[in-house]
Amino acid sequence: MGLRAKANQEGDAMGKCFDQSHSAYSSGDGARAKELSEQGKAHQREMERLNEQASEWIFRENNTDSKPGEIDLHGLYVKEAIRYTDRSVQEARQRGDSEIHLIVGKGLHSAGHVAKIKPAIEDLMRKHNLVAALDPHNAGVLIVRLDGQTRGGERSIGVDDISRKLERDEEQCVIM
């Protein structure tokens, strides 16, 4: 949380510098505008560095005691969740795993209770042509078949089906 707070402070400072840079430019002070723009870019780089450190820590802590093939994406920003999922899918395929369990949650802790990670991961699944099914015991977990096949009797579901199912089964999500 401390790293995220520092990153947010850097983001605020970045925005302030860029706003001041625009004002200086509009006032005809190009030199000051350039100086403020450079300061804004420095704040941006520091914000990105701090967020990277935070995401590494969050991912490591969330997954330290995870079962093999289980990836917990809670607490990550969308871009970070996509990056870690993409990497995890590639690593699982290299190991020859047949499936992975992606803990995406349902957005219950997001602003307005609207899932942000889940739709992004659904797009990533489309990119990889993956077959997914909701975990019957936890609607916040996607079981992703890496070979693109379904198990005997298992119905392949599309991302639209997943979205509808998650919206209907809000109370069934159990995250530990």
Break the chain into its structural domains and give their ranges. 2-57, 66-172
Q: Is the pLDDT of residue 174 over 60?
A: no
pLDDT band at 19 (very low <50, low <70, confident <90, very high): very high
Q: What is the rounded distance in angstroms from the CA atom of residue 115 to the CA atom of residue 86?
A: 19
Give the pLDDT score at 173.
42
Mark residue 2 as left, alpha or beta (left: phi above 0; alpha: psi -120 to 50; beta: remaining). Answer: alpha
66-172: CATH topology = Ribosomal Protein S8; Chain: A, domain 1 (3.30.1370)
pLDDT tens for each residue of 71-110: 999 989 999 999 999 999 989 989 899 999 999 887 666 6
Confidence of residue 159 (pLDDT cuts 50, 70, 90): very low
CA 84 – CA 73 distance, rounded (Å): 8
Residue 106 token pair: 């349902």
